[in-house]
Amino acid sequence: MTIPWLTVLGLVPLVGAGVLLLPVKELARWVGMAFSLITLVLGAVVTSLYLGGTPMAEKVPWMPRFGTWWALSLDGMGLLMVVLTVALVPVVLLAEWKLTGAGKWKPQAFVALVLLLESLSIFTFLASDVLLFYLFFEATLIPMYFLIGGFGGSQRARAALKFLLFSLAGGLVMLASVVGIYVVSAQALGRPSYLLADLVQVSLPTDVGRWLMIGFLLAFIVKAPMVPVHTWLPTATEQATPGTSVLLVGILDKIGTFGMIRFCLGLFPEASTWIAPVMIALALISILYGAIAAIGSSDLLRLIAYTSVSHFGFMVLGIYTFTTAGMSGSIFYMLNHGFSTAALFLVVGMLISRRGSAKIPDFGGVQKAVPVLAGLFLVAGLSGLALPGLSTFVSEFQVMAGTWSRTPWVAAVAALGTVLAAVYILLMYQRTMTGPLSDSVAAHFTTDATAREKWVAGPVIAVILLLGFVPGLALSVAEPVAVAAVSHVGAADPVAPLGEEGK
């Protein structure tokens, strides 16, 4: 009998969360870490199996009446997202090792919720059945809601509710489309089916396809926060713990861009090309607005949230220009952004835990007191502005290149975002790290990075560097998905001008 690797991969953290229902008290962190590491190892096994050419797909009927299956499958994009998830969770657990938690919300609950979230996210990225995807997509809200609402700043309950309402609004609109798919698939196939494999064969009437696509897209643009439905994100990151923010921005929000490629483009190719101009406009607005708002932020956590809004703009731009370079760049960007934001949030978390404040004016000259932390902060920041040599550069470059080959002026506007990125990162570094070190600030920064903190930031930065120098590791996985997606929407890469072919 073959081992259902994908199901096992998703179930392990769930089992871990279940074990944490027992009163393990002080051992909770170790139990959580153990399960997250087992998941990481399993993730590596799955990766090697996939790269070895083993087809990774599982399919068991669940509710035949709805045409719903317990169907999981792995493609290049799903693989990258799963790798991102299993890699970040141990880092987050280690980063939040000292979390004390307010009231009765003991650290044990935090660890259990993180594992639950990991399990649900993995299943979301693996689901190849639309209803199954929808169920997990919605289910991720529950642990994230409690993670934001249970741990963090004083306004966290409000922030959690705002997060939940935005996400639920998007999710319920998507539900209308999911119901619609049931009806149209039954009409087209003679029986309802939610399997992606079945649904891509259904050709929808133009207007039906467009309406259904809009339902999906609304959910995804709330998730991958795009202006104007991004406002929940800064509020959430400001109040949540940095670890929670990593999971939220690094992993959960990727479901948005992931879903655009897999569902919007996959199920509704015609509608996706129809909506593309709108999405490109939204992406440009997000890029610029996010960058400008980041420059204007005086709170470090809000600032990082706004940089993410800008970065998600780039990802969406890469998707909706329908070029192989842009699409694979976007997929790669999703991976890189996960690690890059994780580094930023976690290092900033270390700074905040020392200073007791996230306000930029409360810092200044910090690099003199804690040079190692400042160095980590600088590298994390530079990956946020896509410095060459770091992985983010490759993906941002690809998105720009793809966009340029399609519509140069759009790329020109997007390039402004790159410039602004340098401004917000360097300004942030300058205001917090350089300048005179006042006594009041110095009093808080007595210890430089501890061994644990180095183990948190080190691996993440190592990955960023590795992928920066050897991007082919991830790009070779992302490219087939990108090629398939671009040809599925009926687009072809623009022919390069004479003398530039064979890049």
> Cβ(459)–Cβ(380) under 8 Å?
no
Q: Which two tokens stand for residue 134?
A: 């929808």
Q: Which stretch binds other proteins (CB under 8 A): 5-13, 180-188, 417-425, 472-480?
A: 180-188
User: CA nearest 295: which of 202, 434, 405, 419?
Assistant: 419
Closer CB to other proteins, 25 or 65, in the complex = 65
Q: What is the CB neighbour count within 10 angstroms for residue 489?
A: 19
Q: Does 165 bind other proteins (CB under 8 A)?
A: yes
Q: Which two tokens stand for residue 422?
A: 């340098």
Q: Does 65 bind other proteins (CB under 8 A)?
A: yes
Q: Which two tokens stand for residue 235?
A: 């509020």
Nearest approach in angstroms of CB 21 to other proteins is: 11
* Rounded Cα distance, 27 and 381, in Å: 34
- What is the footprint of other proteins within residues 100-139 (CB under 8 A)? 104, 134-135, 138-139
Nearest approach in angstroms of CB 184 to other proteins is: 9
User: CA nearest 323: which of 473, 80, 81, 487?
Assistant: 487
Nearest approach in angstroms of CB 208 to other proteins is: 9
Q: Which of 98, 191, 359, 452 binds other proteins (CB under 8 A)?
A: 191
Q: What is the CB neighbour count within 10 angstroms for residue 155?
A: 12
- What is the footprint of other proteins within residues 192-251 (CB under 8 A)? 192, 211
3-state secondary structure of 245: helix
Closer CB to other proteins, 229 or 360, in the complex = 229
Closer CB to other proteins, 194 or 320, in the complex = 194
Q: Which stretch binds other proteins (CB under 8 A): 51-59, 167-175, 233-241, 457-465?
A: 167-175
Q: Does 24 bind other proteins (CB under 8 A)?
A: no
Taking CA atoms, 422 is separated from 114, 318, 329, 426, in Å, by 33, 20, 20, 6
Q: Does 164 bind other proteins (CB under 8 A)?
A: yes
Q: Which of 54, 155, 187, 440 binds other proteins (CB under 8 A)?
A: 187
Q: Which two tokens stand for residue 180?
A: 């619609």
Closer CB to other proteins, 125 or 133, in the complex = 133
* Rounded Cα distance, 364 and 361, in Å: 7
Burial class, 430, CB count within 10 angstroms (exposed 0-12 / middle 13-18 / buried 19+): exposed
User: How big is the CA angle at 48 (ends 45 and 52), to the nearest 5 degrees?
Assistant: 140
Total residues in contact with other proteins, by rule CB under 8 A: 29
Nearest approach in angstroms of CB 186 to other proteins is: 5
Q: Tell me whether the omega of the peptide bond preceding residue 143 falls within 30 degrees of 0, making it cis.
A: no
Please give the residue ranges that form the binding site for other proteins (CB under 8 A). Answer: 63-65, 104, 134-135, 138-139, 149, 157, 161, 164-165, 168-169, 172-173, 175-176, 179-180, 182-183, 186-187, 190-192, 211
